[in-house]
């Protein structure tokens, strides 16, 4: 009888786990945008916006374009990212073979990259002391929320419930816990009176520069195989 109950429990657990299947889209894009509000307690008039990163992906391959902060229309750097490794491509690259790049150029670990999107294995500071908040609707989407309050910072996190997992995430461990995608972080620095919003905005299309790189590699690969 004990063996039957054990097998039944295992079958139930297996059935529950199989109901949650993560979906990885084949292509798309991600924008990382931040708004900084100075002297926030006096109002939100003193503000500055930053387009931190423009990422485009094709399955497990990422092209990251880092705009210049002073002149967003100018690229500060372009990276090719795959398997936790990144390769700088300069500011304007339209033709480069990824297969040759990974053989000839020494890569940099994404954890060591100093600009653009932040890749981190670390957990959210004080994550275990978080407090659940009620769900909310923001920009037409419903979000799960939690907050972390410390003597120095007050931070709210917004997670969009979805099975679609992007190749980049702000904090993957939180997404796994809440079964969704962390798309916004609002943080208030109590000492410096600065309020910062960080947004992850998914999109369906590639950036133009990334499209040229992906299509060039697809064309060369197809030509070689013919």
Banded pLDDT at 141 (limits 50, 70, 90): very high
Is the pLDDT at 86 greater than 90? The verdict is yes
The pLDDT of residue 224 is 74
* Lowest mean pLDDT segment, chosen from 66-75, 150-159, 167-176, 183-192: 66-75
- 220 within 8 A of 97, measured Cβ to Cβ: yes
Q: Does 3 score more than 50 pLDDT? A: no
What domains are there in the chain, each with its CATH number?
A: 21-226 (2.50.20)
Average pLDDT over residues 144-149: 98
Q: Which of 136, 163, 157, 147 is nearest to 200 (CA)?
A: 157
Average pLDDT over residues 39-53: 93
Q: What percent of the chain is predicted at pLDDT more than 70? A: 91
Q: Looking at residue 49, what is its pLDDT? A: 94
| pLDDT at site 95 | 81
pLDDT at position 20 is: 56
Residue 192: the pLDDT is 97
Query: Does the pLDDT at position 189 exceed 50?
Result: yes
Please say if the pLDDT value at position 131 is more than 90: yes
Average pLDDT of span 71-96: 87
- pLDDT score of 16 more than 80: no
Model pLDDT, residue 44: 87
| pLDDT, mean over the chain | 89
Note the pLDDT of residue 18: 44
């Amino acid at each position: 009888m004990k063996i039957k109950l054990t097998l039944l429990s295992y079958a139930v657990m297996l059935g529950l786990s199989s109901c949650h299947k993560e979906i990885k889209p084949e292509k798309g894009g991600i924008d990382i945008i931040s708004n900084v509000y100075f002297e926030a307690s006096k109002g939100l008039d003193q503000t500055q916006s930053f387009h931190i990163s423009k990422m485009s992906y094709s399955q497990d391959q990422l092209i990251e374009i880092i705009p210049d902060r002073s002149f967003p229309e100018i690229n500060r750097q372009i990276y090719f990212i795959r398997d936790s490794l990144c390769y700088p491509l300069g500011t304007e690259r339209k033709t480069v073979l990824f297969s040759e790049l990974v053989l000839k150029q020494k890569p940099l670990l994404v954890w060591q990259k100093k600009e653009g999107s932040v890749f981190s294995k670390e957990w959210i500071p004080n994550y275990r002391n978080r407090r659940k908040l009620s769900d909310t609707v923001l920009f037409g989407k419903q979000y799960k929320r939690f907050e972390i309050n410390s003597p120095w910072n007050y931070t709210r996190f917004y997670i969009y419930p979805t099975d679609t997992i992007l190749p980049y995430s702000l904090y993957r461990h939180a997404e796994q816990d809440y079964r969704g995608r962390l798309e916004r972080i609002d943080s208030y620095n109590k000492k410096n009176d600065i309020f910062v919003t960080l947004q992850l905005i998914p999109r369906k299309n590639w950036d133009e520069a990334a499209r040229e790189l992906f299509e060039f590699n697809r064309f060369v690969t197809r030509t070689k195989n013919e």
